[in-house]
Structure 1
Amino acid sequence: MSAYKIEIHNVYKVFGTDTAKAMALIRSGAHKADILRTTGNVVGLNNVSLSVKTGHVHVIMGLSGSGKSTLIRHFNRLVDPTSGEVIVDGENILKFNKKQIEAYRRHKTSMVFQRFGLCPHNTVLSNAAFGLRVQGVARKEREKTALHWLEQVGLGGVEKHYPRQLSGGMQQRVGLARALANNPDILLMDEAFSALDPLIKCEMQDQLLRLQRKLNKTIVFITHDLDEALKIGDQITILKDGELIQQGTPTEILLQPATDYVRDFVGGVNRFKAIRVEHLLRKIQMAIVENGDVYTRSSFDPATAVRASQSIEEVMPLLMGNSASLAVHNDDGKMIGYLDKPKVLAMLKQ
């Protein structure tokens, strides 16, 4: 089984009538603005290649016009590339016929949009069960499943309400429940929290992370908000003018910016707050010998254990107050690695 759920190979997308001329100009090195001026065609994506790991949250970000929403729509073929490949589970979905792509959209992927997309005259329960109804699932079964997911996103008890009776954050939770009810392998989220107030947005991010720790879905999340990307992303891809500028972990993006553009993009971020323990932990197996010291699971004081999901800012007082490394636990209390104090401090000084 491949480590990658989705693979994008050399994808170009040109919007317009004379795409052949535009593609020739792209390959000769012409800039997006020059191509628009000379051909009237808009370059949406320019030779983008990336891989999305199975069971991870992959954030695609950039400013308006960077191509991020265009790119995510390639993953369920709402948009087809002018050139390139879109591989999902080892299959090129661009070769799917109409029946195959319908099955793929109904069973393999679900999408959560910025503007909720709820049916105003249907109840919350009916909205959450919508995808299952399209699949032909019997009413009793689909409503049972929809109700379960409404409860999972914190909306138990409002299933008989209508969208107009809910706040924006609650409506977005209905959209998330509807997507999850289909039990998709891949969850596509296009600026899903961008229309929400800051406090509700933070709550939705936390809700998504809690669900992801249980579900391990492959999630592609679009945002223009760097803080959001750093909080929820296992991997981050940064686009600019349709081109992929850098792809990496939040730590790599913050500490090893590939270009001046990325450096400026992340310049104002509090790195101690943005980097989580899991980004810097060192995994431990049976025993590790390092600088003459032997580390085993029994080498660490349980009282000084930290959680992988905590920020470095949260654990820094404990890290600074101990000469030894800190044990790192997951949310179930299982030790998964350790934080090495000198290495953490050295990395954060970069």
Structure 2
Amino acid sequence: MAELSNRLTALLGIEYPIIQEGMGPFKTNRIAAAASAAGGLGTVSMPGMTKDPAVGSRLLRENIEQVAASTDRPFAVNVPVGRDAAGTVLPVSEAYIRAVVEARDSDSTLSRQLVALTTSAGFPGEFRPLIRDAGLVHMHKVGSTKHARKAEDAGVDVIIASGYEMGGHTHATPVHTFVLVPNITEAVSVPVVLSGGARDGRTLAAALALGASGVAMGTRFIATEDNTDWHTAYAQKILDAGEGDDMVFPAVYGPARGLHNAGVDRLLEIVRTNEMSQDELTRWKDEALIRAQEDGDVDNGAMPAGQVVSGIHELVSIAEFIPRMAAEAADILRRLAGVGQPVH
């Protein structure tokens, strides 16, 4: 769609400026393939934050190859970057970054399709040369203007500005999307993607009006007909949730936003009583996420989700949803440009 073509779509080789976020620690292969096939950018999620690095790397490579076999369009991989107490990147995060680079280097098909690596949680500064030299578009998620400037100075190609209302890992200092995105677009020269609160053509148009080049969404893609990797009970919880049903809780790499349930209450009790070691607690969190996503334990698992759940009421087909969202945004922007129709 020519009206929405911009630096972001050109850089990634996609039709619409719509990105499916990384949504680990369980796989998002079918969602990613569907999002890319529909003209957006699908994202392969990392398979676990407490996996043995060798096992995790192998699983990630398998997921990458499955998506590449399911669509001929570009896609990305998301790797959260954790660090230990000494500031060193965790072995599993490093293994995932290297697995992405090695996959692209070893296969000519993958080198054409695997176009981008998204990093989040922490900044992988020491791995910037590796990512750059692999020819990957490096997208990095931030929650502050300071971190956006730092990422641009390090050579990152795209900034994902994630507002406090987003699902999954969020930020210790709350800055909401409507404030954060224009702050960041004024501060950096690289393309900026809005993450947090996007769900339809109206929110895509709003993101573009704020100076962003596109949107990234996670929660909206959970409640899709294509999300057959995840248990249907999770998607139903998204559809049933309303305003105030979400909360922020301590996750693996910092605070995260998700739906309130008995699992989150149990997590808060574990943290309060200090009954587990840090390694045990991290593994518990990882397993709680997978219990909800894979097994459908929506009572005792952990369910990342953004505040946008209150506006999501039906399952959609990704093949229909992404072009429709783009068309709605283009129509809104045409009307706002003053084609003689009243704006309501």
Scaled by the length of structure 2, what TM-score is found? Answer: 0.31
> Which protein shows a greater Rg?
1
Between structures 1 and 2, the one with greater helix share? 2
Between structures 1 and 2, the one with greater strand share? 1
Scaled by the length of structure 1, what TM-score is found? Answer: 0.31
